[in-house]
Amino acid sequence: MQKTMIAALAALAVAGSGALSASYAQPANAPGASQSSATQQETRETRDHKRGPMRLSAEDRGALLDARLAGFKAGLKLTTEQEKSWPALETAVRDIAKQRGERMAKWREAREERGKKERPDMIERLRRGATMMEERAKTMQTLADAAAPLYESLDTGQKRRFDVMARDMMDQHGGPRRGGPERGPHHRG
């Protein structure tokens, strides 16, 4: 059950932060995408929205995080006593989302700086991957610690909803349950 809770909490963090930095593609020939000279003079952010991956603004990411947390909390139907444990989880999720945003910005900067230079060799990539795994493990532990008091206070129905909502967020936003498109959006295996 503890592994399920940690995975569910990781899903909440991933959903709160992953969705906020997620990219959505819109083809150049989609409705509203213009090829006029005015389009060519638009800012990169606007241009990206029309021709390629869209990066959400900080305001958009914040609004989506607020909505996800509100929906998650509403789905749990917390009692007055349980409400006292909610702020610790919410703060942890917000902190994780902020850290992830900062990490993604740093990664984008490094990628742009590197440009078309040679890609890091396999050993360097393995070391970077190991470092990222260590950071994620610490994040998951922090999240589990923050959520444990709330989770323990939930009744069976609330725990079931907690698990389902977190699992659905995890599936939707590329958490550990992802398996690629062949598994489909509703695969539970």
The per-residue pLDDT for range 83-108, each reduced to its tens digit, is 999 999 999 999 998 998 898 888 88
Which SS3 state, helix, strand or coil, does residue 178 take? coil
Return d(Cα 176, Cα 120) in angstroms, integer: 25
Domain edges within the chain:
2-21+33-183
**Cβ 4 vs Cβ 163: under 8 Å:** yes
More confident residue, 49 or 134: 134
Residue 115: the pLDDT is 74
Return d(Cα 165, Cα 161) in angstroms, integer: 6
The per-residue pLDDT for range 74-83, each reduced to its tens digit, is 999 999 999 9
pTM here is: 0.63
Which SS3 state, helix, strand or coil, does residue 24 take? strand
The per-residue pLDDT for range 108-132, each reduced to its tens digit, is 888 887 776 777 889 989 999 999 9
With a pLDDT cut of 70, the percent of the chain lying above it is 60
Residue 91: the pLDDT is 95
Which SS3 state, helix, strand or coil, does residue 161 take? helix
Residue 131: the pLDDT is 93
